[in-house]
Structure 1
Amino acid sequence: MFTSSRPTMRRRALAAGGTAAALALALAACGSSNDGSSSMPGMDHGAKPSASSSAKASPSMGDMPGMDHMASGNGLSDTKDGYCLTSQDGTLAAGKQAAYRFTVTGPDGKPVTGFAVDQTKRMHFYAIRSDLTGFQHIHPIMAADGTWTADLDALKSGSWRLFASFSPDSGAGKGKGFVLSRTVTVPGTETKTPLPAAAKTAEVDGYTVTVKGEPMAGMAHPMSVTITKDGKPVTDLQPYLDTYAHLTAFHEGDTAFAHLHPTTKVNGDHGGPELSFNAELPTSGNWRLFLQFQTGGKLHTAALTLKVG
C-alpha cells in the first residue's frame, strides 16, 4: 500500500508545484514593467505599503473638495489592487507622432472594458519626460476588446513615463480611482533640460498665472491661482472637463503624479480671475505644475515649478 501511494503523492506534489509556478509567472507578468520600475523608490506592485509610504499618503485624499477621485496614489506602479497596466510598446519613435497601445487588466486577468466617466472622459492619459518636459494630457480611444490607443504628439529622445487614470464601473474596483504607469524609451541622443527654478508666476499665450499659498508635504492646504492678461483680471474662463482649470503635478526625481482641481463653482464662460484649490502634494521637494485652462475655445497650458516643504 505504501509503495503504490508514493508515486501518487509525488504526482500530486509535482502538480501542486506546477500550479504554483504558473501562478507566480502570471503575477510576475502583471507586476513587471518594461523599465524595471519595481525596484524604484515609491513603487507599489500590490504589496502592502511600507510605514514610510503609508505616512506620506492620505486615504481621504480622493474625497476632498477639488481633488480628482481618479488621482489617488502617486502613480509610480503599473499594478494596484489586482489591476494592471500592460503594453507591448517599450519604445516609441522620436520626432514624430506615435500611437501607444495599452490594456488595463482586472484581478481576473482579463481586459477591463467598462470604465466610469470622470470629467467627461473614461480615461485620462498623461506623458512626461524624465526631466519633467514634454507634458501631454490626452484622452485615448478604446477598442471593443479593451485595447486603448493614445495618439501622442512628437516625443523627444529620452525616458518617458506614461500614466493612465481611470475608474472601473464594475467589479472589485468599482468606485475606486486608479493611476497606473509604465515607462517607454524614445531612442536617440537625450538632451536633458534643467528644471526651472521655483517661481510663483508663469506666462503662456499672453496670460500671466500667479500661484498663492505654501503647500506642505502630506497635508491638505489651500492654494489659489490668479489669471491675468495685460495686467487685467481674466473673467472669461470657459469650462474645460467640467471645471475652470485642470492642474497636474509631477515630482522632480521620480516623476510621482498628483492631480487636483479648483473648488470654484462653474458658472458658464465666466471663470476667473481667481481659482481656489485644496492642494495635497504627498512629498517635499520640487514639483512641476501644469495648469490647463480655456478661453475663446483655445486651451492654454502654463508650467511652473513649485517648491513644497
Structure 2
Amino acid sequence: MHTGVKITAFAAALAATFGTAYGVGQGLDPVVAEPAPAHDEKHTPASPPGKGGDGHGGHQTAPAGGLQISEGGYTLDLHTPRVTAGERGDLRFTVRDADGRAVTDYRREHDKELHLIVASRDLLTYRHLHPSRAADGTWSTPVDLPRAGGYRVFADFTPARHNAGNLTLGADLAASGPYRPEELPKPERTARVDGYEVELNGALRPGKAGELRLSVSRGGKPVTDLQPYLGAYGHLVALRSGDLAYLHVHPGGEPGDGTTKPGPAISFTATAPSSGSYRLFLDFKHDGVVRTAAFTVHAGAVAADPSGSSDSAPEPGTTGHSDDGHGH
C-alpha cells in the first residue's frame, strides 16, 4: 500500500482517478443504487515536457487511462459485449499479450490479480467486481445491470511478465432494453448508505494533488472499527463525467501499520486530470458488509456549490452485502 497515491484517468464509452448499492450475488462487490444513484498507484508515466497532458487548461497530468482497449502490448478481449438489462448473466473476457496469447500470470495487488469496474455512461450504475480466472486465462463474473444503455468495462491489473507496470484497459458494454437517460446527481457533501452517513471534505483540483477526507458515521456516531477490505480501510474510484476517465486511488496508510486508524476518517490523495464533473465511489467495510457511498464533485472552474444544500436530493446509498460467498 502506498502512502502517496497517484491517480490515473481514463475514459471510454462510459468510463473517470478516485478513490453503492446493490447486493448482486456471488462474485460481485457493492453497486450504486439507481436512480441517481484504493489498488496500487498507477504506473502510467507522466506526459513528456511540453506535451500538455490532458488538453484541458494546460495542466501537466498523466495521460488518461482506460480510454484504450490496447496499451503497452496488452489487449482487453471482451467476450460479452452485450447483456440484457435486469437479467443476471456472466461477463467473460481475456487479457491478451502482443502475440495474442491469453495472459495467465499476474501480480497480486490488494489481494486480487485483477480488479474489474463496470459503470454506466451516466455514472448512476457502478459495479466493483472481482472475477475468477480459469486455467486458460478466461475471466468470468456474474453481473446484473438494472438499467439499459451504454456501459464501460475497466480491467485494472499488473502483468507479472517483463516487469510490466500497472494497466487499466477499457472496453464498451451494452445493456439492451428500454433506455431512459438520467442527469448526473447534484453535488452534495454527505452520502447516505444503508443507515450510514459518509461526509466528504477536501477539494478535487485539476493538475494538482489534494487530500480528500471521508468520514463514516452511523446513527450520528463516528464509526471507529472499520474492517480491512482488499488490504485497506477504504477504496476510492472516480469517473469523469462525459468520457468516463477512470481514476483509482488508495488511502494513505494501511491496516496494521501502527498509525492508520480504522475510522472514522479515510484520507486519499487525488489529482483530477482536468476540470469538470466527477462521480466518486467509496467502498468501505463494516460489520462484515461492503457498502459504497457515491458523490458528485466538480473540479476546477465549474460553477457549483460543493457544500450541498438541503434543497438537493440526498445521494442515494447502497444496500450492502456480505463478503461471504463472493467467490473472489
Which bin holds the TM-score, normalised by the shorter protein? 0.7 to 0.9
The reply on whether 1:85 has 2:76 as its aligned counterpart is: yes
> Superposed, which structure 2 residues align to 1:52-63 within 5 Å?
52-53=52-53, 58=61
Partner residue of 1:185 out of 158, 164, 174: 174
Structure whose alpha-carbon radius of gyration is higher: 1
SS in 1 for 2:83: coil
Q: What is the alpha-carbon distance in structure 2 between the residues aligned to residue 308 and residue 165 of structure 1?
A: 24
Candidates 195, 206, 211, aligned match of 2:184: 195
Cα shift at 1:244: 0.2
> Equivalent residue for 1:170?
161
Question: What SS is found at the alignment partner of 1:278?
Answer: strand
Partner Cα separation in structure 1 for residue 187 and residue 261 of structure 2: 30
- Measured against aligned partners, the alpha-carbon deviations of 1:45-81 in whole angstroms (never above 9, x if no partner) come to xxx999344665645xxxxxxxxxxxx8431110111
Counterpart in the other structure of 2:20: none
Structure 2: 5+ residue stretches without partners:
1-11, 16-46, 301-328
| CA shift in 2, pair 1:228/1:148, >3 Å | same
Indicate conservation of the 8 Å contact 1:260/1:279, yes or no.
yes
Whole-angstrom CA distance in 2 between matches of 1:166 and 1:235: 31
- Matched with 1:215 is 204
> CA offset at residue 270 of structure 1?
5.9
Letter in 1 for 2:178: T
Supply the distance in 2 between the matched residues of 1:143 and 1:157 (Cα, whole angstroms).
29
CA distance in 2 between partners of 1:120 and 1:57 (Å): 32
Alignment of 1:1-20 (within 5 A): none
**Contact kept? 1:57, 1:73, Cα under 8 Å:** no
Aligned partner (choices 195, 219, 230) of residue 230 of structure 1? 219
Root-mean-square deviation over aligned CA pairs: 2.4
* Residues 114 and 168, structure 1, Cα contact 8 Å, conserved in 2: yes
SS of the aligned residue for 1:203 comes to strand
Q: Aligned-pair distance for 1:110?
A: 1.4
Q: 1:134 aligns to what?
A: 125
Identify if the C-alpha distance between structure 1 residues 218 and 206 changes in structure 2 by more than 3 Å, giving closer, same or farther: same
Q: Distance in 1 between matches of 2:60 and 2:77?
A: 25
Structure (1 or 2) with the greater helix fraction: 1
CA distance in 1 between counterparts of 2:59 and 2:130 reads 29
Is contact 1:264–1:275 with CA below 8 Å preserved after alignment?
no
Question: Conserved in 1, the CA contact under 8 Å of 2:199 and 2:216?
Answer: yes
Q: Per the alignment, do residues 215 and 270 of structure 1 end up closer, same or farther by CA in structure 2, a change over 3 Å counting?
A: closer
Length, aligned pairs only = 251
User: Matched residue of 2:156: which SS?
Assistant: strand
Specify whether residues 57 and 178 from structure 1 end up closer, same or farther in structure 2 by C-alpha distance, changes over 3 A only. Answer: farther
Give the 5 Å matches for 1:268-279.
271-279=262-270
User: Once the 2 structures are TM-superposed, how far is the Cα of residue 115 of structure 1 from its aligned partner?
Assistant: 0.6
Q: Against the structure 1 CA distance between its residues 108 and 57, is the aligned structure 2 distance closer, same or farther, given a 3 Å change threshold?
A: farther
Q: Is the 8 A contact 1:56 1:218 kept in 2?
A: yes
Moved more, 76-85 or 103-112: 103-112
Q: 1:238–1:57: structure 2 CA closer, same or farther, 3 Å change rule?
A: farther
Give how far 1:193 is off: 2.0
The 2-side partners of 1:56 and 1:159 are apart by 29
Provide the rounded CA distance (Å) in 1 between the counterparts of 2:96 and 2:275: 32
Per mean C-alpha deviation after superposition, the further-off stretch among 174-183 and 264-273 is 264-273
**Contact in 2 for aligned 1:125/1:150 (Cα 8 Å):** no
TM score, norm. by length of structure 2: 0.71
Between the aligned residues of both structures, percent identity stands at 36
2: distance between equivalents of 1:115 and 1:57? 31
Whole-Å separation in 2 of the counterparts to 1:97 and 1:279: 34
TM-score normalised by length of structure 1:
0.76
- Could you tell me how far 1:88 is from its partner in structure 2? 3.2
**Structure 1 unaligned runs (5+)?**
1-36, 41-47, 60-71
Question: Deviation string for 1:151-174 (max 9, x for gaps)?
Answer: 212342101111100000113xx3
Deviation at 1:211, TM superposition (A): 1.1
User: 2:179 is paired with a residue of what secondary structure?
Assistant: coil
Deviation at 1:191? Answer: 1.2
Q: Which has the higher contact order (CA 8 A, sep 6+)?
A: 2
Measure, in 2, the Cα distance between the counterparts of 1:202 and 1:154.
Answer: 22
Task: After TM superposition, give the deviation of residue 179 of structure 1 in Å.
Answer: 0.4
Out of 85, 89, 94, the residue aligned to residue 85 of structure 2 is 94
Counterpart pick for 2:291 among 284, 300, 303: 300
* C-alpha contact (below 8 Å) 2:52/2:61 kept by paired residues: no
Alignment of 1:41-120 (within 5 A): 51-53=51-53, 58=61, 73-120=64-111
Quick one: which amino acid aligns to residue 199 of structure 2? T
| Correspondent of 2:134 among 143, 167, 182 | 143
Aligned to 1:251: 240
